[in-house]
Amino acid sequence: MNIITTHKNTDFDALASVIGATLLYPQSIGVIPKMVNRNVERFLSTHKSAFNLMLPNEVDHSRVTQLTVVDTNQWHRLDRMEKLRKHPPTIHLWDHHHQPGNIEAQWKCVEFCGAATSLLVRELKRKHIPLSPLDSTVLLIGIYEDTGHLTYPSTTSVDMEAAKYLLDNGADLNVASYILNPPYEESQKNILFKLLETTEKFSHKKLTVGLNILKLEEKVPMLSSVVNMYRKLINVDAVFIIVYSDANSCTIISRSGSDRIDVGAILVQFGGGGHPGAASATIRKKGLNIETIKAQLIDTVKKNRIISATVADLMSYPVVIVPAETSMKKVREIMEEHSIRGVLVGTTDDPEGIIVLSDLKKLKKDRQWKSPVKAFMARNLSFIKPNEDPAEAAQLMVSKNIGHLPVKHNDKIIGIITRTDILTYFYDMLPD
């Protein structure tokens, strides 16, 4: 008996991954945790009979010969699978998270992308397994939910190609849109308005983070969707909501719209996890102090490395520097020899200016090439530190209308970063 299961608080990516895996593994049965998200619950209430699914309490663990886990790599996130953890059968794992897990699988497909469903769709396509319009629609909903309709920074070409394949196989966008964007209930509207009234914001490394504490008297359906809308309305790079109803537990829900803030990595430090763009963590402790959790969260965000590169990672070194008396002809030869577009003038301890390729194009007379570089160099240099964010370098270049920034450390020039370096980084062309 091969069962396929996923994490508790099942979202649509998890549900779609289970359904996709039942298509990949003949004679398998999908096991859906009892606790599922509201939109998943609503969908299953009308569509459950269309798929080969069962509940965890219906599983006869003694008959399980293979366990396939999708969209998680943590045992504690599975529902009623403790017996299989103690006496594990053959395990297959499909996951798109980059956090380490404790499920040891004999076979696994773990690859970073926007949705676990996309990995399964790719395999369904490779094996030419036929999909009905309903299958395609459910799988597309899973991808759309976890990638924000293919807009989250974690979205990859794997997700795009999977979505195209599903649309080619009859996925219904009208159905997908209705299920992912149901009309807001009154309780959801009230929560959204309450969040908007009590927003706190703080800045870190040119990024804006929203923070809020929400006390709930009763369970609010589709709270994650409210948080998604909330982040967009307050126009922040990431948002963290601490939700609680008593002093014994709280849940942190987070969403990020920037690839420079990995909320999944941040909330791992609170015992949770998720994706770079969406994550959550539940903390259970008697006498929980919400303000302490808030302070710890802010501290963790500020201590967490939220960028994948610094100026030091992008800069060129050693720097080509020429004395101020160097002729323009010699400067041109140096640029051609080193295939560079800019040369510093002076010394690493005392830079006097910079000459760039566009300056050379202004020379019209032969005698000008014999003149010293100091006659044509730009003298008002701007500098940047090696540990700065590339975005800071980009902003400085724009504000100063320059294409080169010398990198200074301990009052000494150690490198130079150019506009081309910045563009290369931001368009994901930085070499490994």
Q: How many Å is the maximal CA-CA distance in the chain?
A: 92
Query: CATH code at 17?
Result: 3.90.1640.10
> According to the model, what pLDDT value does residue 430 have?
43
Q: Based on the domain organization, do 201 and 158 belong to the same domain?
A: no
CA distance 76 to 87: 15
Residue at which a domain ends, from 303, 335, 368: 303
**Residue written as token pair 């969908």:** 43
Instruction: Report, in angstroms and rounded to the nearest whole number, the Rg of the chain calculated over CA atoms.
Output: 27
**Distance between alpha carbon 162 and the CA centroid of its chain, in Å?**
19
396 in the same domain as 362 = yes
Q: Please check whether residue 390 lies inside any domain of the structure.
A: yes
3-state secondary structure the chain: CEEEECECCECHHHHHHHHHHHHHCCCCEEECCCCECHHHHHHHHHHHHHCCEECHHHCCHHHCCEEEEECCCCHHHECCCHHHHHCCCEEEEEECCCCCCCCCCCEEEECCCCCHHHHHHHHHHHCCCCCCHHHHHHHHHHHHHHHCCCCCCCCCHHHHHHHHHHHHCCCCHHHHHHHHCCCCCHHHHHHHHHHHHCCEEEEECCEEEEEEEEECCCCCCCHHHHHHHHHHHHCCCEEEEEEEEECCEEEEEEEECCCCCCHHHHHHCCCCEECCCEEEEEEECCCCCHHHHHHHHHHHHHHCCCCCCCHHHHCECCCCEECCCCEHHHHHHHHHHHCCCEEEEECCCCEEEEEEHHHHCCCCCHHHHHCEHHHCCECCCCCECCCCCHHHHHHHHHHHCCCEEEEEECCEEEEEEEHHHHHHHHCCCCCC
Q: Which of 242, 274, 303 is the last residue of a domain?
A: 303
| Shared-domain flag, residues 137 and 27 | yes
Domain encompassing residue 282: 186-303
Distances in Å between the Cα of 3 and the Cα atoms of 18, 22, 57, 168, 248 are 9, 9, 13, 29, 35
Residue 197 lies in a domain: yes
Domain boundary among 160, 180, 200: 180
The predicted pLDDT at position 432 comes to 40
Name the domain count of the chain.
Answer: 3
Q: What is the CATH number of the domain that holds 196?
A: 3.10.310.30
In terms of domains, do 274 and 365 share one?
Answer: no
Residue 185 C-alpha from the chain's centroid? 29
- Contact (Cβ atoms closer than 8 angstroms) between residue 53 and residue 32: yes
Do 280 and 375 sit in the same domain of this protein?
A: no
DSSP lists the bridge partners of residue 207 as 204
Whether residues 51 and 192 share a domain: the answer is no
**Are 36 and 153 in the same domain?**
yes
Q: Are 126 and 160 contained in the same domain? A: yes
Spatial contact of 264 and 97, defined as CB atoms under 8 Å apart: yes
Q: What is the model's pLDDT at position 343?
A: 95
Kindly state whether residues 64 and 164 are assigned to the same domain. Answer: yes
Q: Is residue 432 part of a domain?
A: no
| Euclidean distance between CA atoms 171 and 168, whole angstroms | 7
Whether residue 200 sits in one domain with residue 170: no
CATH number at residue 406: 3.10.580.10
Q: pLDDT truncated to tens, each residue of the chain (432 aa)? A: 999 999 999 999 999 999 999 999 989 999 999 999 988 998 898 788 889 999 999 999 999 999 999 999 999 999 999 999 999 999 999 999 878 899 999 999 999 999 999 999 999 999 999 999 999 999 999 999 999 899 888 899 999 999 999 999 999 998 888 788 776 778 888 898 899 989 999 988 778 999 999 999 888 877 888 898 899 888 899 999 999 999 899 999 999 988 778 898 899 999 988 888 889 999 999 889 999 999 999 999 988 765 557 899 899 888 999 999 999 999 999 999 999 989 999 998 999 999 998 899 889 899 999 999 999 999 999 999 998 888 788 889 988 889 899 999 999 999 999 988 887 776 554 444
Do 43 and 134 share a domain, yes or no? yes
Same domain, 23 and 139: yes
The pLDDT assigned to 121 comes to 98
Selection from 101, 105, 77 nearest residue 5 by Cα: 77
Cα→Cα distances 249→46, 297, 299, Å: 33, 15, 20
